[in-house]
């Protein structure tokens, strides 16, 4: 296909517009977080970091942040163990129903989040389990596990098993092989999976709405505040905080797993 | 060298001889979790859809009834909500495909290697950036004294006033799910060898002909993959309708949210959730019948 310079230029302009469309709203959020006014509108006359201080000293925000961090860490830990194990098992062993299992595993992120959330709430209702931090963790771990699985399985597919065979041929015991060959081979994929899982958990609203009960995670606090239309300047500061706290692990994960196809395709709510 | 065999070694040897045992040990914890937590919950959802709520106590009555589904299919409110949701999902899917096609074509086939990396990073970034932040940004942009109206009045342009309408919903949904459409379409373009395009041009085909006859059939699976995301995400969202939409913006998602969270009617919400799963299944079936999966 031969395209004239004009056509190529036209495509380039269009692409630049798309990138602007994608990024401009994020810029708006960051700018408004430093707006001194109570009502967010342009132009911004006075700049301040006041709202960050307000948010940081708000006990409701603090307890929500603490809950989010605790739930995120616990869910990530569970997801790391389960996701790595299942990636390993599915990659290494041939068994009946293997294809079905690997298809079913992505359901928690393929089905709408509201289905996962409501399904968990129904199960907790039937079994009379009270909603608490533990129900949040169970919900988050279930979809975070998929992210870890995707990352680790993509790495396993790219690495050959000959290294592991060579290791046992040279006399290493299974545990030694695992510790000295397998783990170093997979470590960056596991770390990247864990970082993405934490970022996903820290930002999740939909499943959490149905599994949190009366308590607030940070995204639930943000959602409630926007819905009521109160404390909006404070919301702005918190949102920017969440944006940074999720962007850092994501950017780092992208860096250490660069070149791997799994990265772009694992993000779903 | 010691000849004593430790228990650990004996265990290791036993596992080494029985690969199925190793497989079972590795796979059973995650699969048990998945079975007990996730699949059992989906069954619980299905069962709950056939329960009801005692209107006096607000407790779930664990007795089989079709009343939730008959309510959904007889009350015209739900017909309107379902229709509105599906039309919105279709509109958003088409919009995103129209934006993603030229964009993905540009980064895959025209842009230089280096700028390709930059473009991909810039588009993937918001895919992972906080979902609430992106929705909240649009409230600030579209609201009556927001960024867009004040920018327009500053420039002397006619002021758009779309806050809390379905037009706002269409814009924000299209914005939110755009990366999910770009990723698979870009992947599809990347798999088209440049030599195909060169051969087509050498044989005298114009750009438009090459696009229709060579590129389109190879890109279609990517579009379908993206549309599954845009469709499923639009069907399941309640945050955007609640925060961006107005009083006439009831979608399946926030109908579910209202029943489950505000109305305390979990069984009815479960029935509605099954309607959205059914729509999704129907969509996948249609895509399959249209032959969209054959090339994947």
B47 domain-assigned: no
- Top residue of A9, A22, A85, A142 to mutate, by most chain B CBs within 10 Å, is A22
| Strand, coil or helix: B52 | strand
Residue written as tokens 């993937």? B124
CA distance A126 to chain B (A): 7
B16 domain-assigned: no
- In angstroms, the Cα distances linking A182 to A32, A102, A172, A256 are 47, 21, 12, 17
Contact A192, A256 (CB under 8 A): yes
Closest by CA position to B118, among listed B134, B128, B106: B106
pLDDT at A83 (0 to 100):
92
| CB burial of residue A35 (10 Å; 0-12, 13-18, 19+) | buried
Instruction: Please judge whether A111 and B280 are an interchain contact, meaning their C-beta atoms are less than 8 angstroms apart.
Output: yes
Contact B259, B75 (CB under 8 A): no
CA distance B291 to B221: 9
CA distance B171 to B123: 17
**What CATH number is attached to the domain comprising B166?**
1.10.3720.10
- In angstroms, the Cα distances linking B249 to A12, A259, B244, B254 are 36, 41, 9, 9
Looking at this predicted complex, what is its ipTM?
Answer: 0.83
CA distance B109 to A77: 41
pLDDT at A130 (0 to 100):
87
Helices then strands (H, E): number in chain B?
Answer: 15, 2
* Percent of chain B that is helix, strand, coil (3-state, to 5): 75, 0, 25
Phi/psi-derived region of residue B180, left when phi > 0, alpha when psi is between -120 and 50, beta in every other case: alpha
B284 domain-assigned: yes
B46 domain-assigned: no
Residues of chain A with pLDDT under 50: 261-269
Contact B35, B29 (CB under 8 A): no
Q: How many domains does chain B have?
A: 1
The contacts of residue B23 (CB under 8 Å, 6+ apart) are A89, A92, A93, A95
Contact B22, A177 (CB under 8 A): no
CA distance B88 to chain A (A): 16
pLDDT at A269 (0 to 100):
38
Cβ neighbours around B71 below 10 Å, total: 14
Superfamily of domain A58-256: MetI-like (1.10.3720.10)
Q: Does B130 reach chain A within 8 Å, measured CB to CB? A: yes
Q: What is the mean pLDDT of each run of 10 residues along chain B (296 residues)?
A: 66 71 83 88 90 78 83 86 92 95 89 82 75 88 80 77 84 91 88 82 79 83 87 88 81 89 87 89 81 53
* Spans of all domains in chain A: 58-256
pLDDT at A267 (0 to 100):
40
- Top residue of A112, A131, A141, A249 to mutate, by most chain B CBs within 10 Å, is A112
| CB burial of residue A228 (10 Å; 0-12, 13-18, 19+) | exposed
| CB burial of residue B110 (10 Å; 0-12, 13-18, 19+) | middle
Q: Show which of residues 215-274 on chain B sit within 8 Å of chain A, judged by CB atoms.
A: 215, 228-229, 232-233, 235-239, 242-243, 253, 256-257, 260-261, 266, 269-270, 273
CA distance A86 to A251: 25
pLDDT at A65 (0 to 100):
92
Chain A residues near residue B107 by CB distance under 8 angstroms: 15
pLDDT at A265 (0 to 100):
42
pLDDT at A80 (0 to 100):
94
Q: Which residue of A has its CA nearest to B14?
A: A174
Instruction: Please judge whether A142 and B266 are an interchain contact, meaning their C-beta atoms are less than 8 angstroms apart.
Output: no
The contacts of residue B17 (CB under 8 Å, 6+ apart) are none
Q: Which of A83, A118, A138 sits opposite B37 (nearest CB)?
A: A138
Closest by CA position to B240, among listed B231, B248, B232, B249: B249
Query: Does the CA dihedral A83-A88-A91-A93 come out positive or negative?
Result: negative
pLDDT at B219 (0 to 100):
87
Chain A residues near residue B246 by CB distance under 8 angstroms: none
pLDDT at A33 (0 to 100):
83
CA distance B248 to B81: 10
B77 domain-assigned: yes
Instruction: Please judge whether A118 and B137 are an interchain contact, meaning their C-beta atoms are less than 8 angstroms apart.
Output: no
pLDDT at A93 (0 to 100):
80
Which residue range(s) make up the domain with B167?
71-289
B43 domain-assigned: no
What global pTM score does this model have? 0.84
Instruction: Please judge whether A40 and B146 are an interchain contact, meaning their C-beta atoms are less than 8 angstroms apart.
Output: yes
B62 domain-assigned: no
B187 domain-assigned: yes
pLDDT at A77 (0 to 100):
96
């Amino acid at each position: 296909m031969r395209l004239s310079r004009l056509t190529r230029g036209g495509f380039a302009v269009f692409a630049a517009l798309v990138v602007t469309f994608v990024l401009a709203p994020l810029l708006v959020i960051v700018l408004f977080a430093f707006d001194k006014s109570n009502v967010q509108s342009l132009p911004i006359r006075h700049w301040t970091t006041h709202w960050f201080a307000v948010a940081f000293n708000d006990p409701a925000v603090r307890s929500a942040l603490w809950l989010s961090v605790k739930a995120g860490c616990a869910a990530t830990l569970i997801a790391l163990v389960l996701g790595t194990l299942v990636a390993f098992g599915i990659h290494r062993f041939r068994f009946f129903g293997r294809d079905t299992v690997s298809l079913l595993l992505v359901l928690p992120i393929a089905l709408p989040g509201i289905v996962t959330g409501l399904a968990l709430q129904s199960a907790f209702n039937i079994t009379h389990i009270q909603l608490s931090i533990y129900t949040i963790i169970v919900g988050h771990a279930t979809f975070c596990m998929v992210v870890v699985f995707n990352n680790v399985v993509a790495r396993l597919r790219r690495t050959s098993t000959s290294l592991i065979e060579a290791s046992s041929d040279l006399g290493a015991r299974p545990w030694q092989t695992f510790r000295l060959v397998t783990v170093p081979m997979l470590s960056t994929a596991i770390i990247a999976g864990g970082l993405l899982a934490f970022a996903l958990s820290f930002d999740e609203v939909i499943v959490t709405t149905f599994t949190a009960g009366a308590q607030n995670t940070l995204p639930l606090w943000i959602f409630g505040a926007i819905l009521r239309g109160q404390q909006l300047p404070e919301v702005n500061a918190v949102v920017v905080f969440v944006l940074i706290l999720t962007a850092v692990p994501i950017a780092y994960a992208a860096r250490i797993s660069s070149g791997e196809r799994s990265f772009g395709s694992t993000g779903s709510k | 060298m010691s000849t004593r065999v430790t228990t650990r070694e004996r265990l290791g040897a036993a596992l080494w001889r029985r690969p199925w045992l190793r497989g079972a040990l590795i796979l059973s914890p995650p699969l048990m979790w998945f079975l007990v937590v996730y699949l059992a919950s989906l069954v619980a959802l299905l069962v709950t859809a056939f329960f009801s709520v005692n209107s006096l106590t607000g407790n779930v009555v664990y007795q089989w009834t079709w009343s939730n589904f008959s309510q959904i299919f007889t009350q015209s409110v739900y017909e309107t909500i379902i229709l509105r949701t599906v039309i919105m999902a279709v509109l958003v899917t088409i919009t995103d495909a129209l934006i993603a096609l030229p964009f993905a074509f540009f980064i895959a086939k025209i842009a230089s290697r280096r700028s390709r990396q930059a473009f991909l990073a810039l588009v993937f970034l918001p895919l992972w950036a906080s979902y609430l932040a992106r929705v909240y940004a649009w409230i600030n942009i579209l609201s009556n004294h927001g960024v867009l109206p004040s920018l327009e009045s500053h420039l002397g342009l006619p002021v758009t006033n779309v806050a809390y309408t379905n037009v706002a919903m269409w814009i924000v949904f299209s914005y939110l799910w755009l990366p999910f459409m770009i990723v698979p379409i870009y992947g599809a373009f990347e798999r088209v060898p440049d030599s195909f395009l060169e051969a087509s041009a050498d044989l005298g085909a114009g750009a438009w002909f090459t696009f229709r006859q060579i590129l389109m059939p190879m890109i279609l699976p990517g579009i379908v993959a993206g549309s599954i995301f845009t469709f499923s995400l639009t069907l399941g969202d309640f945050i955007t309708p609640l925060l961006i939409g107005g009083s006439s913006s009831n979608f399946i998602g926030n109908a579910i949210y209202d029943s489950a969270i505000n109305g305390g009617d979990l069984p009815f919400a479960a029935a509605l959730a099954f309607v959205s799963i059914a729509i999704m299944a129907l969509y996948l079936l249609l895509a399959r019948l249209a032959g969209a999966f054959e090339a994947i």
